[in-house]
Amino acid sequence: MTDFSPDESFIDTNKLIFGIGQVQQITGVSGRQLRYWEAQKYISPLDQKKGVSRQYSLRTLFLIFHINRFIEQGFTLQAAVDHAQKFDAQIPALRKFLRGQLKGVTISDDKTLLDFGYLNHHHDKHVYGVIDQGGETSFEIKDVASQSH
């Protein structure tokens, strides 16, 4: 099992920067659409340096991806932006939870286990997130006394 310490930081996503061409390629959103979304204040590029093409943060890349996903699901642009912004607002809470709770990951041939630690302060049950070979996810709660590693 790969163990994680809450004191260890994940990758600094603020340092992941994507040029407009990369964003177009990753998300399928055209440069024209991106510029329109910028004009409407739905997204913002990073501060531009003279002679450098538009650049976007990873967070903005995800926002663009989700706006486009909601548009493809039939939402209007404004509704897609609203949905994507709500989703984006949840990311810090998810990141905080994972930093605090994820204790380790075990990958085997048939499944991946994410160790979320003890269920409660009694330390009698352990919680695992499970991803099976087919990509289906579930939880397992195991009695600590019956665990064998």
For 68-79, the pLDDT digits (tens) are: 999 999 999 999
Contact 43, 64 (CB under 8 A): yes
- Tokens of residue 1, six digits: 């099992």
In DSSP terms, 107 is beta-bridged to: 112
Share of the chain above pLDDT 90, in %: 66
Residue 7 predicted with pLDDT over 70 = no
Does position 125 have pLDDT exceeding 60, yes or no?
Answer: yes
Residue pair 53/20 in contact (Cβ under 8 Å)? The answer is yes
Pick 58 or 8 by higher pLDDT. 58
Residue 34: pLDDT band (50, 70, 90) is very high
**What is the pLDDT averaged over residues 86-97?**
89
- Which residue in this structure is represented by tokens 């039939």? 74
**Half-sphere exposure for 9 (CA within 13 Å, toward CB):** 4
Partnered with residue 139 across adjacent β-strands are 129
**CB-CB neighbours of 78 under 10 Å:** 10
What sign results for the dihedral spanned by CA atoms 64, 66, 68, 70?
Answer: negative
pTM of the model: 0.68
Residue with tokens 């590693």: 149
